[in-house]
Structure 1
Amino acid sequence: MHQQALSSPGIRVNTRKLRPSYDAAGKVERSRIFDLVDHSNANLVLVTAPAGYGKTTTLSQLYCQMRTAGRAACWLTVDASDDDLGRFTFYLRAALSSVLDEVDEPESAGSGLDGSTASSARMQQLLESLDLAEAPFVLFIDEFEEIGSTRVLQLVSEVVAALSPGQQIVLGSRHTPDLPLGRLRVSGRLLEIDADLLKFDREESRRYIAGRLPCALNEAELDTLQHRTDGWPAALQLAAAALTGRTDTAALLEGLAASSRNISDYLAEDVLARLPPRLCDFLLTTSLFDAFSPAMCDAALGVTDSRECIAATERDNLFLQRIDNDGPWYRYHPLFREFLGTQLRHSGVTPQRVATLQLNAARWLADHGRHFPAVPYALAAGDHALAATIMATRANDLVRVGQFDTVAKWVAAIPAAILATHPPLLIAGAYAATFLHRYGEASRLIELLPAQAQADEAIAAELVALRIMLCAWSDRLVEAFRIGESARANLAVMPPYVAGLIHNTLAYEAITLGRDIKAMQEIAAAKRLLEPIGAVHALNYSVSFEGAIALLQGEAKAARARFEGTLQAIIAGGHRYTTSTAIVAAHLAEALYEINEIDAAETLLIDYLPVIHDGCLPDHIIVAYRVLARIQAQRGQYAKALVTLDTLQDLGDVRSIPRISAASRIDKHRLALLAGDVAAAQRMAPLIADASVWQPSEGFSLYAENLDDPIVSDARQALVEGSVRAIIPRLQDAICEAGGHNRRRRVARLQCLLAQAFEVARRRPQALETLERALAQAEPGGMLRVFADEPWHLNELLRTLEDRKCAVSAGYLQHVHAAATKTEPIAPKGHPQDEAMRLSPKEGQILRLLAEGHSNKELARKLFVTENTVETHLRRIYGKLGIRSRTQAVARALELGLI
């Protein structure tokens, strides 16, 4: 997607979603429920009941009461369009920013983030902000039944998990949401308010009826009403409407007591039967609309008296809710709307008349800039051409702000023949499908583009960028490289952003072919195009490729400095979470791991893994998960390491990328060997060696396989089994090939394995000579883990080298030896104490760094945060562990087995 598009309008804040839909004043006071919530320490208050139990009224009243009591409270009403991670995160930030200084207001225009990870980026920013927020607040989210997206539900789960004492989320929903309620219930962090609690008791029913009728009911009448309605607020409201203006109160209540029909239908029919025909017709036809205004109703119904009808409906208290205090927008209570819809279907209105009304509404909404609500009406009326036209006006903007789910749903609703007449919608749909990792769907949409559209210069440029991204993310790298090569001749006439992207692609190709000079030339060309237009994110790819070359060449210290400087500059520039930032973070974590700065590497991965998972290339995903699993294994967390590798394997299977699944198996194979489970390793070996996995990339040395590929896996197994005769010549050939491409890091790994193979073959002089040569070449670049991760027979050779004069410094030998010793499996420690369970991963990192004696300033540098953030985390650690000083923190961490 070209850079100029990033400044296009994004999500515009609809302020009516950020306050209760109507004033709770004058309603029956629900003091029982307020007391329950006010005295609860739960982080999540779940208010669930079917329609008609007054959830919204209760939440609105709680909101007002809490604000009156001086508590920081904010509000969010969700609707069907918010079932999208990008849009939901936007509005969640908008709500929380009103009560938390740590949460920034969302931008009303395009965020400047690269679209591929906008939703994940905002999610990570929000979670980071909440992690730092200590001030108490209450967030109300109403109509949560509209949320079904697993990605949105996961975000809400993580937000709840991040809440501190005094921070609450109150959810109103018609059904129980798919959140980890069991865990919250057991830990005492959940308060549940159901339909039984929401029912009016007899006194509340009395107050409700007394506030709406000119004359009070006697005790017997009140008993009849309470018994028949069972305190159901919706039924009481209908009863009040039915009783208004009647002189035969007793007759209605007698009929109510005798009727066996559904109480809401009984009362609603009575109310409807007493209305003037014009108002009755207005109610029935407007039940087709989720929300409406007088002007919209006039246009859709072809009338001029909508304002008067709405006013009469309000006066009669007929379940009409004003939903925008800044304008005349209304909606019916869902229960009443459902009843009206049933009556409309039985009234004899034709499907053609319904479709006409829906189309009129869709056109009016689209003409007045309300594209979101217009689309469902056009689809419901069966006018896919109109729906596609409306969608095309907003789809690209939605992609740029991360609303991929919405765009994907839109496009899925339109027949292929109509999509082909809307190239911008096809392009937007292909981007959304790519970002959602639905690669087959993205390819299908691209193929629907007619030749005439593909010849358009702007669309042709978009297609080149899109096809490269699609191929790269679906691991069809050879195809991506071919597209880049074929576009080379047209670079001069392409937009700078697309041309820069192509140069980056060609640089990546050169890296996989071992042509580093060529790669640096392509990177320089990309920078010349991207820097003048401020294409920060594409530039991050260029810089990350430079650092990757250094790491491949064995210059771990230089790579670390390169990546660290770049990441700090990105964060300082306000672009903490983007796809390209996550790529830099993945490389930096790898470099930190290589030089054995384990804690700093783990911190980065914990912070960035969700963005890496959602938006990075397969190579970076493999590297990130591999490093994290190895760190977990070193800490004795074998079950956690296997879960991490299972996640990686599942990711490869779901996205149909065999190389990702194979990389997981390679590391599971290694872990099995380290644990002494040779049989399990042998069962995995054929899957790793499957030639079909590696064939698509034949001739290219892909980044993630630079250190860990089938030959390395075979060598490990041979060393454990003691049968090394066949592996020695294979390792020697691989060393020659890697050396010819200046892949010194791979050479070091292979030489380490070869030295151990010589040792197993009882050729110790060759073993020592090979290992010494490898260590001497690796020491200047600071490489450690390339040796330490292969400890099969390494320590005995290292001890021998330490005892004699060699070309490697004693200090470096000791560092490698110590790291290799820690790599060997150790018995897992017992279950941590409750205090440890309450610590977040980042707090555990800080404790380990504290034990090493680092100052706050050093902690901030290693964790890539400010000193204020470090102090906030320290205060939380002290509070959770019941301590007051650094010394006590270290002592308690030792006691809990955290360090």
Structure 2
Amino acid sequence: MMTTEPEVPTPAVPRRAPREASARFRAPTHVHNVIERRRVLEGLRRSEPRRLTVIHAPAGYGKTTLAVQWLAILQDAGALVAWLGLHGDDVDPHWFLAHLLEAVRRALPAAGESIDDLAALIEQSAEDVQGYTLSALLEVVGDHEERVVLAFDDWHLVDEAAARRALVHLVDFAPPNLSIVLTSRRRPQLPLSRLRVRGHVVEIDADALRFDLDETREFLVELNGLRLDGDDVARLSAGTDGWVAALQLASLSLRDSADPAALISGFSGRHHSVGEYLAENVLDALPADVLDFLLATSVCDRLCGDLAGVLAGRGDGQAMLEELENRDLFLRPLDTEREWFRYHHLFADYLRRRLDRDHPDRLADLHARASAWFAEQTLVPEAVAHALGGGDIRRATDLVEQHAMPLVEHSRMVSLLGLLGRLPATAADDRPGLLMAVAWANCLLQRTAAAQSSLDALLPALPGAADHEEMRSEADVVQACIDIYGDRTDRAEDLVARSLHSSRSYRPWVVAVSANIQTFCDIHAMRFDRARERQRWAAPFHDRTRGPFAGVYGRCFAGVAALSQLDVPAAREELEGAVILARESAGRRSHAAQLAGALLGELHYVRGEVGEAERLLDESGELGSESGVVDFMIASFVLSARIKAARGATDESAELLVEGARVADRLCLTRLRAAVGAERVVQMLARGRTREAHRVARDLPEGSSRHDGIGVRIDQLRTSALAAVHSAEGEHDRAVALVEDLVAEATEHGQLRVATELSIQLAGIQQRAARCLSAERTLAAVLTRVVSAGVPQLVHEGGPDVRAVLARIVGRLGDGDVDESLPPAEELHALVANAPQPIGRASAGDLNGRELEVVRMLDVGRSNQQIARALGVTVNTVKWHLKNVFSKLDVTNRTEAVSVARRGGLLV
């Protein structure tokens, strides 16, 4: 589909791209006209070490200057500093996390890959991943030997609930090598009392920051060279109350004053605002062109020479910035190359008020120039912000629409939705292209209701002209994608037919997603060969798409189709390829990697590699298991529960199944509910709870109302569970009849894996019914298939009854019987000997970063549920971490773990 990009006006002034797009990640450089705050710095030295240093005072008290001086001392001692200058957009949790990660990445370049993985994750996550991201970030920091200092400048801009939760998490669970410094115009709303009791915080307020008389004299006389006697200095100190910004303004006013004494006595106590009086005095004394430059450039939070020239309409922007710096006009360089600058916040606020007062007609034009400049540098958030600042909603919407689909295809869905959130609620209503991108973003984030809402708004916005038919077809693809996330295939094939038939008319992204949807439909219509062929056909389209989703899903679906046919080598190639692709294109921690990892874990499981399967499935569940299509969820909930039950972790297993049932009910996923219920039946029967198993099996959903392969699979799960219950109740004939019919049906449909699993179940039922010869024939018929495919776990799942049947078959081979239909004797002996791999017990040793974080939460009395929420993981994953903690510390409960950790110096 071809789209026309909206025209974005560009200024006539030639441009060059700045060396550094954003200076928010660099601490301001040292400037010459400040004094060293020796008195306050000495207090900080005495209070070391602390997890948190809070510097708070109104504007103009030198908070940032002190922070920079303190950080320089720490850097000289070997610390690595991550600086984040906060902006108003950081109130959004996504932007805050993204900028925090970037700040740390710049400070710890060796950890770039891990941090990039986390940055990709927050772009692709439908649910709140703050806890998980912060925990993983603390692990990254804790892996470094050097001290790491995280500095937040202007915390007051983000001092709201989400940012506060993030900061408290960082402080509470900081590794020993991490400390945090923040500046704020007001005392932050943090649990400072609790942190002070624990000795974790040092607080510096306005009283500590005020210049005393000695510092005032040093600043005015020694640093700025003013000829003032002791009384003048004392009057200035008293009149400004040690306010640093006022003293700097006073020094600028006094520098060219003919009567310093009169000026000093004139402002004290007579004006409503000392600062505004002095600012007026300074600005009114400037040449007109300098004042105009100041006002024009005040609309931006940061400036480089080219941007400043565009705003002021002159070609010497860099030279003017350097002149302002030399004049001490509250302009500070943000990098050592002196390419980026910013005005002191207090001065910038005053300039903007004066601009609005004296030249309100210029604001819209200045914001338009800034927006155009940032757009040309592809700095979309800033370009949108300035368009909105100038009241140009249309331009802001044009910019978001222009970049919307590229953001989706680069898997930056959350960024797109964040930009959209800055626009008025109705801005996209008449923008089909933007509505389409938003529908895609919500669909890929599995925000089904929001995706459907965007689609419902899109269709009426499309004109009836034929040139919009491609967009209508693309909307059908989005609808089909929503459907398969809901495990519905009844209309999906029809919805994607046009895109596949006319594939050259559509973007590769649309065709690739359509191919995946058709593959999903083929799998669940039991057309496995067609599903695999469809992915071979789609490979060139996957190669031409951007972002991980289409390619990863395509390989996963091809792997599912291959495994359904017990083509294990092909399944392994596809699923391992999917994991590699996801990790390389979206990051090791991405949802794409975890979804692919769950299916790869299932493959390891059927191959008998149970330990590796559990590891992959645990990893896939760290961000929650309700992502992707139902096939992913069945692996994450059902198979994980089966493995944990087999190693005796019955509570963990039960919690997984309860969670899976809850997700199935909430999302109306009948197949997931059937799979979870069937697994519950098997586990209940294994523990002798036959009556309860009967009730669960009876309540399993039926698939007969659905006229598709998914309905067939739902009925297979239900009937298999009922047969297991009947056999346990002694109704073997009834059970045998049910499973024989299922085997015949699965064989007819080409469900080789399902037919094999059901045949093994049938052999076990026949063994319990004392039909020994029938059991041996049934099992023998699939042994060659199991051995040649390399899926021994399918036999091991049959339990003691099937193992007894296998032992008799192998025993007769030992007696000299030859059966050409069976695998070679040595392979059968290996099948008997190789029981499922036991899950290894964690070795004693130091706790890793995540485990140490869990112990710290135990120390403050958090429950498993609270720990899960804080870490952004499931309760089951928390229990897995606790198991490892108890093993490594050689303890049996929480209290002992905390006690041992404290004695070992792991807790302070």
How high is the TM-score relative to the length of structure 1? 0.69
- The whole-number CA distance in structure 1 between the counterparts of 2:190 and 2:644 is 27
- The whole-number CA distance in structure 1 between the counterparts of 2:239 and 2:812 is 94
Instruction: State the one-letter code of the partner of 1:378.
Output: A
State the 1:131 CA deviation: 8.0
Residue by residue, what CA displacement relative to the aligned partner does 1:624-680 show, whole Å, maximum 9, x if unpaired? 3444454455566566556666776776688x4645974796489569848979799
1:136 aligns with 2:174: no
Q: How does 1:650-669 map to 2 (within 5 A)?
A: 656=667, 658-659=669-670, 662=673, 666=677, 669=680
In structure 2, the CA distance between the partners of 1:103 and 1:404, relative to structure 1 (3 Å rule), is same
1:743 aligns with 2:762: no
- The whole-number CA distance in structure 1 between the counterparts of 2:714 and 2:780 is 18
What residue is the counterpart of 1:553 in the other structure? Answer: 565
Q: How does 1:788-803 map to 2 (within 5 A)?
A: 794-795=799-800, 798=803, 802=807
Q: How does 1:303-382 map to 2 (within 5 A)?
A: 317=328, 319-323=330-334, 330-338=341-349, 347=357, 354-355=363-364, 358-359=367-368, 361-363=370-372, 365-366=374-375, 371-382=380-391
- The whole-number CA distance in structure 1 between the counterparts of 2:169 and 2:115 is 19
In structure 2, the CA distance between the partners of 1:313 and 1:614, relative to structure 1 (3 Å rule), is farther
What residue is the counterpart of 2:14 in the other structure? Answer: none
State the 1:198 CA deviation: 6.5
What residue is the counterpart of 2:770 in the other structure? Answer: 765
Residue by residue, what CA displacement relative to the aligned partner does 1:202-256 show, whole Å, maximum 9, x if unpaired? 4666655554572567599759948984x76556656766777776779968986
- The whole-number CA distance in structure 2 between the counterparts of 1:94 and 1:641 is 40
Equivalent residues of 1:113, 1:575 under 8 A apart: yes
- The whole-number CA distance in structure 1 between the counterparts of 2:835 and 2:482 is 41
Equivalent residues of 2:55, 2:182 under 8 A apart: yes
In structure 2, the CA distance between the partners of 1:720 and 1:297, relative to structure 1 (3 Å rule), is farther
Residue by residue, what CA displacement relative to the aligned partner does 1:370-402 show, whole Å, maximum 9, x if unpaired? 543231232244432121223334333433444
- The whole-number CA distance in structure 2 between the counterparts of 1:756 and 1:840 is 43
What residue is the counterpart of 1:19 in the other structure? Answer: 26
What residue is the counterpart of 1:777 in the other structure? Answer: 782
1:514 aligns with 2:526: yes
Residue by residue, what CA displacement relative to the aligned partner does 1:310-361 show, whole Å, maximum 9, x if unpaired? 788756755444446667654443345456666777x5976x7755654454
1:442 aligns with 2:451: yes
In structure 2, the CA distance between the partners of 1:561 and 1:243, relative to structure 1 (3 Å rule), is same
Equivalent residues of 1:496, 1:529 under 8 A apart: yes
Residue 589 of structure 1 is aligned with which of 591, 597, 601? 601
In the alignment of these two chains, the number of paired residues is 816
SS state at 1:23 partner: coil
Q: How does 1:163-174 map to 2 (within 5 A)?
A: 166=177
SS state at 2:148 partner: strand
State the 1:565 CA deviation: 6.6
SS state at 1:103 partner: helix
SS state at 1:419 partner: coil
SS state at 2:109 partner: coil
In structure 2, the CA distance between the partners of 1:52 and 1:224, relative to structure 1 (3 Å rule), is closer
Deviates more, 1:511-520 or 1:362-371: 362-371
1:199 aligns with 2:218: no
Equivalent residues of 1:594, 1:785 under 8 A apart: yes
Q: How does 1:679-690 map to 2 (within 5 A)?
A: 685=696, 689=700
Instruction: State the one-letter code of the partner of 2:36.
Output: E
In structure 2, the CA distance between the partners of 1:633 and 1:546, relative to structure 1 (3 Å rule), is same
In structure 2, the CA distance between the partners of 1:784 and 1:772, relative to structure 1 (3 Å rule), is farther
- The whole-number CA distance in structure 1 between the counterparts of 2:572 and 2:518 is 24
Residue 416 of structure 2 is aligned with which of 389, 407, 410? 407
Deviates more, 1:67-76 or 1:385-394: 67-76
Q: How does 1:559-708 map to 2 (within 5 A)?
A: 559-560=571-572, 563-564=575-576, 567=579, 581-609=593-621, 616-632=628-644, 656=667, 658-659=669-670, 662=673, 666=677, 669=680, 673=684, 685=696, 689=700, 698-701=707-710
1:812 aligns with 2:820: no
What residue is the counterpart of 2:438 in the other structure? Answer: 429
What residue is the counterpart of 1:290 in the other structure? Answer: 301
What residue is the counterpart of 2:64 in the other structure? Answer: 56
Equivalent residues of 1:454, 1:460 under 8 A apart: no
- The whole-number CA distance in structure 1 between the counterparts of 2:184 and 2:710 is 52
- The whole-number CA distance in structure 2 between the counterparts of 1:592 and 1:811 is 18
- The whole-number CA distance in structure 2 between the counterparts of 1:244 and 1:795 is 95
In structure 2, the CA distance between the partners of 1:86 and 1:679, relative to structure 1 (3 Å rule), is farther
- The whole-number CA distance in structure 2 between the counterparts of 1:713 and 1:196 is 71
Instruction: State the one-letter code of the partner of 1:491.
Output: S
State the 1:460 CA deviation: 6.7
Equivalent residues of 2:532, 2:558 under 8 A apart: yes
Residue by residue, what CA displacement relative to the aligned partner does 1:443-463 show, whole Å, maximum 9, x if unpaired? 425436524687358757865
Equivalent residues of 1:477, 1:697 under 8 A apart: no
What residue is the counterpart of 1:861 in the other structure? Answer: none
Equivalent residues of 2:149, 2:179 under 8 A apart: yes
Equivalent residues of 2:78, 2:146 under 8 A apart: no
Residue 384 of structure 1 is aligned with which of 377, 393, 403? 393
Residue by residue, what CA displacement relative to the aligned partner does 1:100-134 show, whole Å, maximum 9, x if unpaired? 33535999xxx9999968999x9899969948954
SS state at 2:112 partner: coil
In structure 2, the CA distance between the partners of 1:193 and 1:569, relative to structure 1 (3 Å rule), is same
Q: How does 1:262-301 map to 2 (within 5 A)?
A: 265-272=273-280, 275-276=283-284, 288-291=299-302
Which sections of structure 1, spanning at least 5 residues, go unmatched? Answer: 824-828, 845-876, 883-891
Equivalent residues of 1:131, 1:162 under 8 A apart: no
Which sections of structure 2, spanning at least 5 residues, go unmatched? Answer: 6-16, 814-821, 823-827, 855-884, 891-899
Equivalent residues of 2:80, 2:148 under 8 A apart: yes
In structure 2, the CA distance between the partners of 1:757 and 1:436, relative to structure 1 (3 Å rule), is same
Residue by residue, what CA displacement relative to the aligned partner does 1:580-632 show, whole Å, maximum 9, x if unpaired? 65544222111112334233223334555568969743422442344445445
- The whole-number CA distance in structure 1 between the counterparts of 2:671 and 2:63 is 46
Equivalent residues of 1:706, 1:746 under 8 A apart: no
- The whole-number CA distance in structure 2 between the counterparts of 1:416 and 1:478 is 34
What residue is the counterpart of 1:502 in the other structure? Answer: 514
Q: How does 1:109-124 map to 2 (within 5 A)?
A: none
- The whole-number CA distance in structure 1 between the counterparts of 2:318 and 2:541 is 57
In structure 2, the CA distance between the partners of 1:476 and 1:61, relative to structure 1 (3 Å rule), is farther
- The whole-number CA distance in structure 2 between the counterparts of 1:641 and 1:198 is 56
- The whole-number CA distance in structure 1 between the counterparts of 2:658 and 2:604 is 24
Deviates more, 1:424-433 or 1:409-418: 409-418
When the two chains are superposed, the root-mean-square deviation of aligned CA atoms in Å is 6.3
Equivalent residues of 2:739, 2:762 under 8 A apart: yes
Deviates more, 1:639-648 or 1:305-314: 305-314
SS state at 1:765 partner: coil
- The whole-number CA distance in structure 2 between the counterparts of 1:160 and 1:423 is 45
Q: How does 1:509-548 map to 2 (within 5 A)?
A: 509-527=521-539, 538=550, 540-548=552-560
Instruction: State the one-letter code of the partner of 2:275.
Output: L
How high is the TM-score relative to the length of structure 2? 0.68
Equivalent residues of 2:525, 2:710 under 8 A apart: yes
In structure 2, the CA distance between the partners of 1:696 and 1:684, relative to structure 1 (3 Å rule), is same
SS state at 1:437 partner: coil
What residue is the counterpart of 1:868 in the other structure? Answer: none
